[in-house]
Structure 1
Amino acid sequence: MRLMTKDIKMLAIDLDGTLLHDDMSISPFTADILKKAWTKGIRIVFATGRMFCSARAKLLPLQLGDIPVVCYTGAWTARLESQQVISQDGISPELAGEILAFARDREWKVQTFINDYAYMAQPDPLEQEYSQYRIRKTIYTGEDFYHPAETVTRMIIVEKNLQKRDNIRKFLEDRFQDRISIVYPERIFIDIHKAGVSKANAIGVLAARWGIRPEQIAAFGNTENDISMLRYAGHSFAVANAEPVAKEAADKTIGSNNEDGVAHAIATILKL
């Protein structure tokens, strides 16, 4: 793969397991490289499965201006500093209610996300599995949880048994077919979005606004919810700790998240 500095005008970067270390930190070296790229005029878009409020808390210290942040795997894009929402694309209350009815009948552990808040019917010990990704407390709404009145940005089902996890995914995909999109952002999580939602689509909208072509984008990721943007970008990189499906989708494998693989690759690509 021949990659020239002048070709790259945009960086699309996943957070957890890609840019962030395992302890959720961003190293001073990575922060410095990102700042240099931004100062050079490179468009930087962070694309994550996180809630916006959670991603914002991690990214504000980088001081990269009011850049767009793609959250909820593409369902929500907002500006980092001003918090201005650029786009939202969620699951209708009617469809969400159908899915939640199955979840209740089958006793699946499920959360919904509405207006950047997380909801559950009642507290559950499994919440500790994703507490590290949250900064807002979950809201418990009892029976009302199963009858959302607003658009649902995303649903997450948590299932530690991987065979059961796969069975749930197959059931939902067979039952709802082209009405939803499902990815595994982590081993035990099933993310459910409106059909058509992906990091690639959200990044593509921003790139089109800026007059940037796919071949002028470098993307970095580590898991299934990154595959769409890794395939969309003209130059794609999976960190060494990435899942096999992400490595297969990427052009090249780079150093791990704990080795600042993304920052080293950016420094090389842009000759920083």
Structure 2
Amino acid sequence: MAPPRLIATDLDGTALRSDGTISARTAAAFAAVEDSGSTLVFVTARPPRWMASVSHVVNHRGLAICANGALLYDLHTESIADAHLMEAAVVAETVALLRKAVPALTFSVEYPDGYAYESDFPLGSWDQRFGDGRPPVESVLGRPCAKLLAYHHTMAADDLYEQVVALVGDMVTPTHSSGRALIEMSATGVTKATALARFATRNGITPGEAVAFGDMPNDLPMLGWAGTSWAVANAHPDVLAAVDHVTRANDDDGVALVLERLYGVGRAG
């Protein structure tokens, strides 16, 4: 059988190790995809400002779908190729409704050109690693944004997600991609799948010619779109229940193992 024309993979928790690095085996598998003439697309919740540590693995070639589908990022030029933002009025109304119902929430926003966060929003290890030392702000309102994030210090992630969907699910597209109670919101209808489908259509690629890998609920739309879907063994239970296949965990090169089999290279074992 011919190899897939499109490989779409999440990064953190899926293709990357838990410490955020890319193993030599996974890097070689990525190279095999491109050497075959197939298209490799990173599809991630990461903002573009976090992509520099990954783009060198593919020699700054190709595109990445960032911020859960809101931003299309050109790895070669390190620039935004397309954006689907939340309007400023929608951001303001969403924050007001959520703050009224769940007063302990704190917020941050991702813009195409940076980010802003409230003083009580906890910066995670990735923010500390890739951040630019930007100080907190009194308000994250006033500008269109690629992604609005809401954090709660004590709630379970799935519980907070259900509450956010009930409160504002008709105004924004909520999801989550970490073990923390951190909900990520995009403009209505914007998901990893919508961005990936647009990219595939422009390049004459059908879902049946695509294979996708993921680990968290924000990957579910993409996994549902692709003709063949894979989860890593460490994936969220909802993802494990939804995919066609399960490979080894991210720390055990699960994505690389599948790519080696698909493209006939490497160890494949």
Structure 2 length as normaliser, TM-score?
0.90
State how many pairs are aligned.
Answer: 262
- Within a 5 Å distance, the mapping from 1:25-174 to structure 2 comes to 25-54=21-50, 56-105=51-100, 106-122=103-119, 124=121, 126-128=122-124, 130-131=126-127, 134-142=130-138, 145-148=139-142, 150-163=143-156, 165-166=157-158, 168-174=160-166
Whole-angstrom distance in 2 between the partners of 1:121 and 1:158: 11
Whole-angstrom distance in 1 between the partners of 2:163 and 2:31: 45
Structure 1, unmatched stretches of 5+, are: none
Whole-angstrom distance in 1 between the partners of 2:74 and 2:228: 25
Once the two structures are overlaid, the 10-residue window that deviates more, 173-182 or 229-238, is 173-182
How far did 1:99 drift?
1.9
Map of 1:205 onto structure 2: 198
How far did 1:35 drift?
0.9
Whole-angstrom distance in 2 between the partners of 1:269 and 1:132: 37
How far did 1:123 drift?
5.1
How far did 1:151 drift?
1.0
How far did 1:122 drift?
2.2
Once the two structures are overlaid, the 10-residue window that deviates more, 128-137 or 93-102, is 128-137
Whole-angstrom distance in 2 between the partners of 1:120 and 1:45: 29
The structure carrying a bigger helix percent of its residues is: 1
Map of 1:231 onto structure 2: 224
Whole-angstrom distance in 2 between the partners of 1:135 and 1:103: 26
Whole-angstrom distance in 2 between the partners of 1:161 and 1:141: 23
Identity of matched residues, %: 24
Structure 1 length as normaliser, TM-score?
0.89
Whole-angstrom distance in 2 between the partners of 1:232 and 1:199: 10
SS at match of 1:127: coil
Letter paired with 2:196? I
Structure 2, unmatched stretches of 5+, are: none
Letter paired with 2:218? N
Give yes or no for contact 2:73–2:82 (8 Å, CA) kept in 1.
yes
How far did 1:167 drift?
5.4
SS at match of 1:147: coil
SS at match of 1:87: strand
